[in-house]
Amino acid sequence: MTRISTISHHRKPTGLYLKDMIYGAIDGTVTTFAIVAGVTGASLSPAVILILGFANLFADGFSMAVSNFLSIRAEREFITRARSREEWEVENVPEEETREIREIFIEKGFKGDTLGKAVEATTSNKKQWVDTMIAERLGLSDNGTDPRKHAFITLSAFVVVGFIPLVAYVLSYFIEYFRDHTFAISVILTSITFFAVGAAKTFFTRKNWFIEGLETLVVGGFAAFVAYYVGVFVKNLIG
């Protein structure tokens, strides 16, 4: 006999926070290293790199975190309104809602007794009934996560990982070797970071870790390449 299981479209909060962490890290590294490359291409001083780099870390990181917070909060508010509407319909027009549940299971291939049992099991529990309607009919999923946590994790990842391209420039004030090879060391550290963070995406993309890492490295490297030669162009343009 076919086992009837509860339909669940809820994503695990830990996976969602991991996604915020990884994409915050990628964006932080790409934008900061682009600044490093652009300023280096313009032959400006390491002090300018640090000023612009730290400004980017906190300003752009804060902007990204706020955007994430607002979008997730808006999504949750929309889901709350949708849930209220579905709860009203379940209570006031249960026959219509039951028919829609039946249609949902028919589309999934349920037939005969299995179909009847699936409909009965779903409609016997109001929360499960509403959850199924929201997930299947509206394509929405309330994961129950806190928008503030998403924002904090995004900002933290952006700042912490985005700081890596600046490490060599900070250490150059204390260690002579870093002073002589600053940009080269920054390139090496950032390249490793690009690959590592890209490979980490496979925790939720389920793709090949090497390809994901290489893809992120190429994208980040191309952004830095463009920024570097923009710096060179502007330097030559203004003399």
Q: pLDDT tens digits for 207-220?
A: 899 999 999 999 99
Q: Is residue 9's pLDDT more than 80?
A: no
Cβ atoms within 10 Å of 112's Cβ, excluding its own: 8
State the pLDDT confidence band at 1, using cuts at 50, 70 and 90. Answer: very low
For residue 42, the SS3 value is coil
Q: Is residue 59's pLDDT more than 60?
A: yes
CB–CB of 30/226 below 8 Å? no
Q: Is residue 2 part of a domain?
A: no
How far apart are alpha carbons 93 and 177 in whole angstroms?
75
What pLDDT is stored for residue 6 in this prediction?
37
> Is pLDDT larger for residue 132 or for residue 40?
40
Q: Is residue 1 part of a domain?
A: no
What does 117-154 look like in DSSP terms, one character per residue?
A: HHHHHHHTSHHHHHHHIIIIIS--------HHHHHHHH
Which of 213, 149, 140, 141 has its CA nearest to residue 20? Answer: 149
Q: Is residue 118's pLDDT more than 60?
A: yes
Q: Is residue 176 part of a domain?
A: yes
CB–CB of 158/25 below 8 Å? yes
Q: What is the pLDDT of residues 166-203, one digit of tens each?
A: 999 999 999 988 888 999 999 999 999 999 999 998 88
Over residues 6-16, mean pLDDT: 50
CB–CB of 136/7 below 8 Å? yes
Q: Is residue 5 part of a domain?
A: no
How many H helices and E strands in the chain? Answer: 11, 0
What pLDDT is stored for residue 205 in this prediction?
77
Q: What is the pLDDT of residues 121-149, one digit of tens each?
A: 888 888 888 888 888 877 777 666 788 99
State the pLDDT confidence band at 63, using cuts at 50, 70 and 90. Answer: very high
CB–CB of 194/217 below 8 Å? yes
Of the listed ranges 152-161, 163-172, 202-211, 225-234, the least confidently predicted one is 202-211
Domain hosting residue 175, numbered range: 13-233
How far apart are alpha carbons 54 and 50 in whole angstroms?
6
pLDDT averaged over every residue in the chain: 87
Domain count, the chain: 1
Which of 1, 7, 2 has its CA nearest to residue 123? Answer: 7
Phi/psi at 135 (nearest 5 deg)? Answer: -70, -45
Judged by phi (left if over 0) then psi (alpha if -120 to 50, else beta), residue 33 lies in: alpha
Over residues 58-81, mean pLDDT: 91
Q: Is residue 37 part of a domain?
A: yes
User: What is the biggest distance separating any 2 CA atoms in the chain, rounded to whole angstroms?
Assistant: 81
Q: Is residue 238 part of a domain?
A: no
Q: Is residue 28 part of a domain?
A: yes
The percentage of the chain sitting over the pLDDT mark of 90, rounded to a whole number, equals: 51
Of the listed ranges 99-108, 212-221, 222-231, the least confidently predicted one is 99-108
Q: Is residue 104 part of a domain?
A: yes
How many alpha carbons fall within 13 Å on the CB side of residue 129? 24
State the pLDDT confidence band at 70, using cuts at 50, 70 and 90. Answer: very high
Measured in Å, how far apart are the chain's first and last C-alpha atoms?
A: 80
- The residues, any chain, with a CB within 8 Å of residue 186's CB and separated by 6 or more, are 33, 36, 165, 166, 167, 168, 169
